Amino acid sequence: MPHPLSNDLRERVVAFVEAGNSRNEAARHFDTSVSFAVNLMALLRETGSVEPRPVGGKRHGKLDPAEAFLLAFVACAPDVSMPELAAALLAEKGLKATPQSLSRWLIKKGFSFKKNTSGQRTRPA
């Protein structure tokens, strides 16, 4: 993953552009990409600073706000299929989710669906 360029270089590029040079000339002069110079000037215009934006961070899932509904629904109907759960989520909360994402979310929450060789559940979910 690329890392942010130094603040010293960022400040020099800004000073070069503010001295009347174009962003393309600044990119050539400092051996950076044109998009870096353009995006840096946009960042300066928006925030007033040349500090890089934060990199990474925690991603949040779209199913987390509906956690109470999903857990209650699975508790009431432990044999619900993922397409049925997706349809119920869309009808009740207006939140569209694929059966695969619901399955992954439930597995992260500790649910599993184990069957033995005769096709019967071995234990409750």
98 in any annotated domain: yes
pLDDT tops 90 at residue 117: no
2 in any annotated domain: no
Q: What value does the mean pLDDT take over residues 16-32? A: 96
29 in any annotated domain: yes
Please tell me the predicted confidence (pLDDT) of residue 11. 96
For residues 26 and 40, give the distance between their C-alpha atoms in angstroms, rounded to a whole number.
11
Question: Are 78 and 124 in contact, with CB atoms under 8 Å apart?
Answer: yes
Same domain, 43 and 69: no
pLDDT tens digits, 101-114: 999 999 988 887 66
pLDDT tops 70 at residue 118: no
Same domain, 73 and 103: yes
97 in any annotated domain: yes
Range of the domain at 16: 7-47
pLDDT tops 90 at residue 43: yes
Provide the domain count of the chain: 2
pTM of the predicted protein model: 0.50
54 in any annotated domain: no
120 in any annotated domain: no
Q: Which residues pair with 115 in a beta bridge?
A: 121
Q: What value does the mean pLDDT take over residues 70-95? A: 91
